[in-house]
Structure 1
Amino acid sequence: MGGKWRVAVRTPVGACSAVLIVVVGALAVLAPIVWGAGAEATDTTAIQAGPSAAHLLGTDSLGRDILLRVLVATRLSVGLAVTATLIGLVAGVLLGIAPSVLPRRLGRLVTSAVGIAVAFPALLLALFLAVIFGVGMQGAVLAIGLAGAPSFARLTQTLAASVAGRDFVAAARVAGVGRLRLMTRHILPNIGEPLVVNATIGAGGALLAFAGLSFLGIGVQAPDYDWGRLLGDGLDRIYTNPAAALAPGVAVVVVGLAFNLFGETAAAMLGTRTRRLRPAKPAEPAEPAVRRSPARPVRDAPVLAVEDLRVAFGPVTPVRGVSFTIGAGEAVGMVGESGSGKSLTALALSGLVEQPGTVTAGRLEFLGTPLPGAPQREVRRLLGSSLAMVFQDPVASFNPTQRVGRQLAEVSEQHQGLSRRAALGRAVDRLRAVRVTEPERRARQYPHQFSGGMLQRAMIGMGLMASPRLIVADEPTTALDVRVQREVLRLLSGVRASEGAAILLISHDISVIAQTCDRVLVMYAGRIVEDMPAARLREGARHPYTRALLASVPDMDTDLDRPLTVIPGRPPEPDRMPPGCAFAPRCPRAADRCRSEDPELSRSEHRVACWHPDERSGGPA
């Protein structure tokens, strides 16, 4: 960071802003000390005198030196502008985060009020508020600060919305972090820089607004004085001694320019910030291929029971009646093309579907607790302590402003009541358990200092901070190379064997599912079209879509001289679902019944939703 600032101040704009800020800061501190007495001294022999050797800019109506008063007024003028800006920033941030932490109706009311306030020019709003708060320095500070709050509130809302969709926020929500802590620990630190940059630029506007109020007689009152008041006093003599009015006016312009140039320099520096280069990681020894862990006995009560799960966004329903169960220690794979509803199903199970999305289910139980209708605090505690989520992008899954160890420790602090030191110690232990090298040192590092595979291990370690009964891994290997993919899959299998946790592995790669899971759920167009044991997948798949997915995966025996097998056509859009079977337009076995009636999943160990399943691998559906 220091190096980037040094580079920034070497540019013409950066150097100019740095010099101006240093000069203004020095004047604000030293001018009242050095020239304070001289600015108050009266010279009765030179009342309203013009510029001279004794008084370079002349004197006022009491014979006081105008130049010294302009210099001394730097502290009050700049101090009031900075104070007003801080008030606007704090009030704006509070209004900006209010919709995220308040009840929905009250949050919408705050958002509407901010929108109305933003429509008014800030200076007119400041004049209106100054009349309400009363004439004087205090009223003017409050008026200008609150007049600037709506713009900061709108900026905060926009920035927070852009961060709220990141995976590390979702991970914190799954871990049971409350909304207020989520905002203060995970969202605000990631939007602080643009807010500070805009506050720096806004300080110039606050300085101008304050000078305007004082010029009109609403702001600073005698015997205090700022540049606006000096400008008003000197305007009466603009034709006899222009310097009396020009000096405070120039001071306002120069200091306002200093604030704006400094803000532009900071914005340019932050805008061109590049990601730090990660040191190359030494190649790790190759490991044997991933093997399916022996299935643990499934108890009578499933870890997760889902019946007729639906996720809707208004009239569009991307997930349409999904039903399945996961037993204790069982590894279940969910596979399908992009847009089939896999990830949305996982988000619904984890309570991460936001408005305007709605989740309904005939049955949605986790560890015997019905999730819909249960108290939010109880659901958050249950999911935070017994459900672990591993997201697709390990880089986006961690808060870039916090050390990795602190992020892992937050889970134990929230749900196990551990002290900060004890939680950090457990975080180090969990990093060691997922084979992160030098866990004590790694826990003190930031996410950008980790490789992608190491971050994915740390993400799994975060899930192990409590005692998870179910690990939902949503495309955990997509962003990783083949070698690291194998390591992560082996790690998940090892966690399953050692912790007894069930796994729901979501992937578009049917080969990965076949190697690591006990059971396979094939999704298409928001529905499960086949549910079967993974051991029978290669030879026993019955749905035409499942067989098409298997045929599209090349292997060592694939003829390289022939084009790769592809599934013709495209999946239907959720808002344009065809009548009958959604796969019928792409299916070579489709008949008239397929285009008019939607088949239901059969009720057997091998469930398939098809009117004409492949009969080579079993009896009728």
Structure 2
Amino acid sequence: MRAGGSGALAALRTPVGATSAALLVLLVATAVFAPMLWAERAAAVDTNALQEGASASHLFGTDTLGRDIFHRVLVATRLSLGLAVLATLLGVLTGVILGAAPTVLPPWAGRLVTSAVNIAVAFPGLLLALFFAVIFGIGTVGAVLAIGFAVAPGFARLTHTLTASVSGRGYIAAARVSGVGRLRILVRHVLPNIAEPLVINATIAAGSVLTAFAGLSFLGIGVQAPAYDWGRLLGEGLNRIYLSPWSALGPALAVIIAGLAFNLFGEAAAAAAGGRERVDHKAVPPEKSTVDSGGQASDGVLAVDNLRVSFPGPAGWVTPVRGLRFTVHSGEMIGVVGESGSGKSLTALAVSRLIESPGLVTADRLDFRGTPLLTRSERELRPLLGTSLAMVFQDPMTSFNPTQRIGRQLAEVAEVHHGQSRRAALELAVDRLESVRIPDAAKRARQYPHEFSGGMRQRAMIAMGLMGEPALVIADEPTTALDVTVQREVLRLLARIRAEHDAAILLISHDITVVAQTCDRVLVMYAGRIVEDLPAAELFTAARHPYTRALLAAVPDLDTDRDAPLAVIPGRPPEPGDLPPGCPFAQRCAGADEQCRTEEPALVQLGTGNRLACWHPGESEVDGRALENVTGGGAE
């Protein structure tokens, strides 16, 4: 259970986890000490104080025998918590046995157990508890067995799923090859690796079990007199709730607080475990780049110097974006191209401050309009990023709230960042929709995202960015999944925004010809870093990196032989957590030599506006093709 303990410690570092843990400590202390301190007072009969209401001497009033309900609630904590924990342990143990049974049983027996568990899971837990209560009889023991067996199917399903996910690992196969028995594999190799989620789910389930047990006692099926728990006290006080509300509200409040404490702590532990993958977070990745030595970032709308984006992994930090340096000036349009996984979108998210924990963004410099983004709080940056930076995502359908009208979502930007009234903000939203050529904008503003076509949603997303005065528009694959006509309209719209607002645009795309037609400069990314930086006008005539040239060669044109296979780049990009030594492209490059496979080239300045990271750059011509041959003409 060591994994579960580490999850609990991580949960204590969160506000919710710390608060719920404090409540649990208070409940345990009450369960331990209350019977010692107040058992006699809780049992004392006072015929002169029968059924009194709440007062200074009796906070929750008294019952039909004059016993103090407040002290009875405190004393009942031990039995209530004890029975809930006992029923939870029974359910978890039974569920683990049933869930792991198919691993050690013959196949036919395993299928039989799995089918029985699937049938049991289909029934509501309360219905199962009542069913088992009838079988085991009324009383404390019967209630524990009923609730324990009622929650067991859920844990059996969870255990079976987790066991199946672990059983395919290499160390399990190695143990089988070594002749280790099934039961030993289960105990030594499988169960320790699924302990953490089981412990976390057991903590969450304890709150539900506590509530269910109180429910059975309330119905008279659980704890019987003379013993009492919170559920029994609640049942006794409900008859007088209109005359003395606290006689019922007191026990109910105890059930609610205890249930919330278990559930919240379990949720906090689950969240902490989800953001942590057993990695040493103190081992922060190095901030100094060892490869990109040229082209220091200068002043501009966006200045990026040695940008790194890292995520924790099982073997340490993984850095999909490594040491980027570039600058975007006002009115400039820069294209970022590369295969999937090259780090293009992560770069855009890092610049927009959208990388969430446990991701880590570091940079020697990351300035937007002269303001450092990494050293300012989110509250300080909100007025700047909310008004001067526009983000156009690849799929606007997932960026718009499907339950709100388009106009309402656009207007919210003006209300929050500009302090405009609801009416004025909505009028501005309609105006912005008109500016991006959406017909009948007033009517469209009252429609929902699903009523827009793909191209209109993309234009509406651009209109949202225009609700402020954007100095930088980051367009992440804005034309993906759009037909050629709509793609052309979106690109024209971005060009018009650039011209009218003098806005800088960072265009991320897989389509290198689109970038060549619309951008001033091209950044070619591979394996998390920039491998070539050159003017777009020189892309088809002066590209020197083998990867850039391979991307260009893979673009068919009118002269392409239709009977020949399309040109492709052999192999696939390396995984961010498993980069080979030397140049990451060496394994796919026909011209790579020993130096390429052992030393990674730095990104060096070749001249005005050109940077290259290659030991053996190619010739200046790219298959003898000029720009107009490949793109079919210049950009409009």
- TM superposition score category, shorter chain reference: 0.5 to 0.7
Residue matched to 2:434: 432
Picking from 302, 313, 321, the partner of 2:323 is 321
Cα distance in 2 for residues equivalent to 1:373 and 1:329? 26
Secondary structure, counterpart of 2:497 in structure 1:
helix
**1:416 corresponds to:** 418
Equivalence for 2:254: none
Question: Is 1:527 the equivalent of 2:525?
Answer: no
1:103 positional shift = 12
1:303 corresponds in structure 2 to 301
What's the TM-score once normalised by structure 2's chain length? 0.55
Partner of 2:620: 616
Asked whether 1:401 is paired with 2:403, we answer: yes
SS of corresponding position for 2:326 = strand
Query: Does structure 2 retain, via aligned residues, the 8 Å contact 1:408–1:465?
Result: yes
Alignment of 1:276-287 (within 5 A): none
Which residue pairs with 1:105 in the alignment? Answer: 14
Task: Please say if 1:582 is aligned against 2:580.
Answer: no
Per-residue deviation, residues 298-324 of structure 1 (Å, max 9, x unmatched) = xx8411010110011131111000110
1:342 aligned to 315, 337, 344, which one?
344
| Residue 221 in structure 1 maps to residue 237 in structure 2 | yes
Letter in 2 for 1:339: G
CA distance in structure 2 between the partners assigned to 1:440 and 1:208 by the alignment: 58
Q: Tell me by how many angstroms 1:515 deviates.
A: 1.1
Task: Give, in angstroms, the shift of residue 398 of structure 1.
Answer: 0.2
Contact 2:432 2:464 in 1 (8 A): yes
How has the CA–CA distance of structure 1 residues 586 and 113 changed in structure 2, closer, same or farther, with 3 Å as cutoff?
A: farther
Q: State the TM-score, normalizing by the size of structure 1.
A: 0.56
CA spacing shift, 1:566–1:414, aligned 2, 3 Å = same
Equivalences for residues 22-37 of structure 1 within 5 A: none
C-alpha separation between the residues in 2 aligned to 1:544 and 1:222?
Answer: 80
- Give the structure 2 partner of residue 284 of structure 1: none
Match of 2:514?
A: 512
**RMSD (Å), alpha carbons:** 3.8
Alignment: residue pair count = 382
Q: Is residue 136–residue 220 contact of structure 1 (8 Å, CA) maintained in 2?
A: no
Alignment-derived partner of residue 599 in structure 1: 601
Spell out, residue by residue over 1:585-605, the C-alpha distance to the aligned partner (whole angstroms, 9 max, x if none).
101111111111111112132
Confirm or deny: 8 A CA contact 2:299 2:327 kept in the other structure: no
* Equivalent residue number for residue 374 of structure 2: 372
Unaligned runs of 5+ in 2: 1-10, 27-41, 43-57, 64-68, 85-124, 126-209, 221-228, 243-297, 623-636
> Could you say what secondary structure the match of 2:467 adopts?
coil
Shift of 1:389: 0.1
Render the CA deviation track for 1:277-299: whole Å, top value 9, x for unaligned: xxxxxxxxxxxxxxxxxxxxxxx
Could you give the per-residue CA deviations for residues 102-121 of structure 1, whole angstroms, max 9, x where no partner exists?
9973245358789999xxxx
User: Which residue of 476, 482, 485 maps to 2:484?
Assistant: 482
Q: Percent identity?
A: 61
Compared CA separation, residues 220 and 372, structure 1 to 2 (3 A): same
State the SS of the aligned residue for 2:361. Answer: strand
Q: Secondary structure at the match of 2:615?
A: coil
Q: Which residue of 1 aligns with 2:94?
A: none
Cα deviation code 1:426-463 (max 9, x no counterpart): 11110110111111111111111111111111000000
5+ residue gaps, structure 1 = 1-101, 118-130, 152-201, 227-299
Q: Secondary structure at the match of 2:581?
A: coil
Give the 3-state SS of the residue equivalent to 1:537 in structure 2: helix
- Asked whether the 8 Å contact 1:135–1:219 carries over to 2, the reply is no
CA 522–135 in structure 1, closer or farther in 2 if over 3 Å, else same: farther
> Residues 612, 428 of structure 1: CA spacing in aligned structure 2 closer, same or farther, 3 A cutoff?
same
1:99-498 aligned within 5 A: 105-109=14-18, 210-212=218-220, 216-221=232-237, 224=240, 301-314=299-312, 315-498=317-500
**Does the 8 A contact of 1:136 with 1:218 survive in 2?**
no
Cα separation, 2, equivalents of 1:378 and 1:449: 36
TM-superposed deviation, 1:223:
5.4
Q: AA paired with 1:509? A: D
Would you say the 8 A contact 2:214–2:231 is kept in 1? no
Query: For the Cα contact (< 8 Å) 2:333–2:506, is it kept in 1?
Result: yes
Q: Deviations over 1:440-490 (max 9, x none)?
A: 111111111111111111000000000000000001111222221111111
Q: 1:380 to 1:535 in 2, by over 3 A?
A: same
**1:614 counterpart letter in structure 2:** G
